[in-house]
Structure 1
Amino acid sequence: MGTELHAGIDFEKVVVSPYPLRMRSGVARRERTGTLVESVCRAPSGRSREERVTFTARLALPLLFVSAVLAASGFSWWLAAAGSAVLVGLVWRRQVRAAQEAVFAVPRDEESRVLWSVPERAAFAGALDASGRVRRTWPALGDMIDPILADRSLTRALGELAEVLGRRQELRRVREELAGVRDADIPGDSPARMAADLQRERADEVWREAGAAANRILGGIDAAARAGESFIRERQVAATARHAERTLARVAGVPAAVESGPDLAGRTEAVIEAYRDLARE
């Protein structure tokens, strides 16, 4: 996939693509974070047809008045009327889409991935949540990481995860089909049964490999999130400890130690190593 990744989740599927997502119905808003663009479905507006007609009529009346004024002033009446009609049509279309359930269109290009099965959808949704946790730690990590490189690594990991989950989804269907013919009433030495058994073994092996690859990517993203969050918490605790030590020193008259608070060098290395692992995924 390209450097930019678009992802969207509706009630029936997950769509991941290097290109902007299109809507089959409803409205979604785009939220960009670095090279990741999430399309978030908006809830239906709940407006009935009567309410939409009323709103459009209220908009059309002043537009007709403005068109008449422009025509009386020597402006081309048909141009003003056409502009008003286009505006009314756009508003009406927007209202209709806003009243519908938001559903993403299925991309037709080969680079996009569509996840329909529940386990794969849940896995990618969890990865998106974990990637958000990772990105929220970046401001506090400062110079420990390069945000540009980290963003690219994280987006690439999500793209690779979508590909692996797409393969696993197809393998799930194949395994279900092969499981359906396992109890077929045919002789045990039948060439068809032997071929099906062989393909079932191959499907199981590839299934396990795809699962291991997905878990490795998910684990890398989660490890980066936990390492950053743990470092931030420990730094906050260290700051609290230093503040308490200075306060106690002032109150009790005991000088504060020059180097106080827990040593975070080990945690710093853990954060850096987590991002190295993520980049290697």
Structure 2
Amino acid sequence: MKVWIARDPSKTAVALRPVDIGSRPHRREWGSVVDVTPGPPMTAKAADRRAKFQLLLVLMAASYFCTAGGGAYWWLILLASGAFMMAIFAASSKAGEPGKVVTPELGHYPEAHRLLTGPQERSEFDRLLKLAERVGKTQPALKRLVDPDEAGSLLAEAVWEGAKSLARKEEIRAVRDDLKRHALEGSGQVSRSRLDLLQQQQRANALWKEVDAELDKLRSHLSTAAEAGEAFIRDRELDDTLNRTEKALAKLSTDEILGSSLASEQLADETNAVIQAYRELNELYGGKR
């Protein structure tokens, strides 16, 4: 499984199909997650230089075709050149604009896409993604403990489940806000409609708490996996260092050195913690699709 993420100033797209940024994308890939954000916009000076260079190429091409026997079709060459020039000027005028999210397969695969537009949910997703990236950065060092492909797919699955929960939370937020607005307008009144409104508010609040609980559980498991992986890497590096220094010190002393064995015991504990963290992630999110 692979997940694509694209973010621009107005929305975040999370999908099981490729998504991108319209212009100058900055792409990062870790595990089975592809994260695309807008790159720095082109400066006006750079855009002007590019436009002049492209115009020069168009004029050179038009001149070549005219002199190579295309004189009879000068009007067609002129029209084509004009169209190219207009396209160049249009592209140049938009060069300084930030790239926007592009979802080419949204119409064909709507269930494979989740769009987040609310600032709260987008911020929550960014925090979730930072946790997931911490997990992803440790995975190359854990390949002897967990299968890299399975670990990458599992992490992508967790990110996708988080996006689904946040998209659902965004919808619930809209319903809650709508109900709250009507509740304020009719405050002080007692009627059948008022009772129905209060009942729907209770249902919306219950759904809100349910989604929050799902997200809290996901964050907790990702945090556990990240911390276990990072601790394993630290202790493995320490164990390697102590093994080297133990050999060096053994040449200088006949005293028994216990530091390395203690570090090895700690490394074994961290190894078990990593395996347990991935086992719990797999029980929650593995094979959901």
TM-score tier, shorter chain, comes to 0.7 to 0.9
1:29 has 2:26 as partner? yes
Which AA in structure 1 matches 2:264? P
Contact 2:229 2:274 (C-alpha < 8 Å) held by counterparts: yes
1:203 has 2:204 as partner? yes
Are residues 247 and 134 of structure 1, via their aligned partners in 2, closer, same or farther at CA, if it must alter by over 3 Å?
Answer: same
**Paired position in structure 2 for 1:60:** 55
Q: 1:48-87, aligned counterparts within 5 Å? A: 52-53=47-48, 55-69=50-64, 72=67
TM-score, scaled relative to structure 2? 0.81
User: Which residue among 41, 47, 63 is the counterpart of 1:44?
Assistant: 41
Say how many residue pairs are matched: 276
**Paired position in structure 1 for 2:5:** 7
**Paired position in structure 1 for 2:277:** 274
SS of equivalent to 1:65: helix
Are residues 249 and 46 of structure 1, via their aligned partners in 2, closer, same or farther at CA, if it must alter by over 3 Å?
Answer: same
Which AA in structure 1 matches 2:115? V
User: Which residue among 97, 101, 105 is the counterpart of 2:98?
Assistant: 101
Structure 1 window deviating more from structure 2 (109-118 vs 207-216): it is: 109-118
Could you say what the CA RMSD is over the residues aligned between the two structures, in angstroms?
3.2
Give structure 2 stretches of 5+ with no counterpart. 285-289
TM-score, scaled relative to structure 1? 0.83
Map Cα deviations across residues 210-230 of structure 1 (whole Å, 9 max, x no partner): 100111112222221111001
**Deviation of residue 93 (structure 1)?**
5.3
Contact 2:30 2:137 (C-alpha < 8 Å) held by counterparts: no
**Paired position in structure 2 for 1:262:** 264
SS of equivalent to 1:269: helix
Structure 1 window deviating more from structure 2 (79-88 vs 54-63): it is: 79-88
Contact 1:248 1:254 (C-alpha < 8 Å) held by counterparts: no
Structure 1 window deviating more from structure 2 (214-223 vs 86-95): it is: 86-95
Contact 1:60 1:84 (C-alpha < 8 Å) held by counterparts: no
Map Cα deviations across residues 222-259 of structure 1 (whole Å, 9 max, x no partner): 22111100110111122222233333322334465796
User: Hey, what's the Cα distance between the residues in 2 that align with 1:190 and 1:27?
Assistant: 57
Task: Give the fraction of aligned pairs with identical amino acids, expressed as a percent.
Answer: 27
User: Hey, what's the Cα distance between the residues in 2 that align with 1:54 and 1:123?
Assistant: 40
Map Cα deviations across residues 106-146 of structure 1 (whole Å, 9 max, x no partner): 75553221112222112211222222221211221131001
Which AA in structure 2 matches 1:244? T
Map Cα deviations across residues 49-107 of structure 1 (whole Å, 9 max, x no partner): xx645542333335533553465456898798899778766665554443112222575
User: Hey, what's the Cα distance between the residues in 2 that align with 1:65 and 1:126?
Assistant: 52
SS of equivalent to 2:144: helix
**Paired position in structure 2 for 1:214:** 215
